[in-house]
Amino acid sequence: MPRHKNKDREDIRSETRSLLLQAATEEFAREGYLGANINSISKNAGFAKGTIYNYFDSKRTLMLELIAEIANGHMEFLSQRVLVVDDPAHRLEVFFEAGFAWVTENLAQGLVLFTTLNGPDTEFKTRMFEAYLPMFQLVGQEILAVGIDQGIFRQVEPESTAGLIMNIYLGTGSQVNERGEQWFPPKQVSDFCLQALQA
């Protein structure tokens, strides 16, 4: 029978978990899932090697929780920026602009995202894909469907075209060097897409 739930205790747990997830992100980004060393993660987060197992059941579940974390943050980042503008063409521009910015600002998370989506582990791939469904819908419904409705875009099939655009985003966005500099300017990519979509 615990005396009473200590608020501080919860704060500590949440802080530690956060530090561990951050270190995990960097380790997974640098080494990949299989190459990542669980002990290093804990050490790099400033803890002893065993500590990480007080927070995650296994390396695998750590990765799965990280996937959710990344997808949620990414989606929140993008939708907040995309939905505040009205014009669908502009939305697409913002989508790429903000999307590329997210990669630059969250380099390690981006690398985990890209390697996982293309990696051999099907469970991770599936989870990542599922976690990104909201973003597919954002593109398909809040950008393409609206634009088609307004006659700004051609009459393309919104769903598969959303897939195509997501694909282009994930493919081009992943072309970053270790300092976060993109190989493609977002404007070039969004222009390319807008050109392809214009009515």
Q: What are the residues binding its own copies (CB under 8 A)? A: 1-2, 29-32, 34-35, 46, 48, 111, 114-115, 117-121, 154, 160-161, 163-164, 167-168, 170-172, 174-175, 183-184, 188-189, 192-193, 195-197
Contact between 38 and DNA by CB under 7 A: the answer reads yes
| Number of residues this chain uses to bind DNA (CB under 7 A) | 26
Residues in the chain, overall count: 199
Q: Pick what 14 binds: its own copies, DNA, none; C-beta below 5 to 8 Å, kind-dependent.
A: none
Angle between helices 59-82 and 122-131 (to 10 degrees): 30
Contact between 199 and DNA by CB under 7 A: the answer reads no
CB 139 within 8 A of CB 78: no
Cβ closest to DNA, residue 16 vs residue 137: 16
Q: Pick what 58 binds: its own copies, DNA, none; C-beta below 5 to 8 Å, kind-dependent.
A: DNA
Task: Report the sign of the C-alpha dihedral through residues 133, 138, 144, 145, in that order.
Answer: positive
Contact between 16 and DNA by CB under 7 A: the answer reads yes
Separation CA 32–CA 56 (nearest Å): 18
Contact between 51 and DNA by CB under 7 A: the answer reads yes
Cα 115 to Cα 140, 158, 187, distances in angstroms: 24, 27, 24
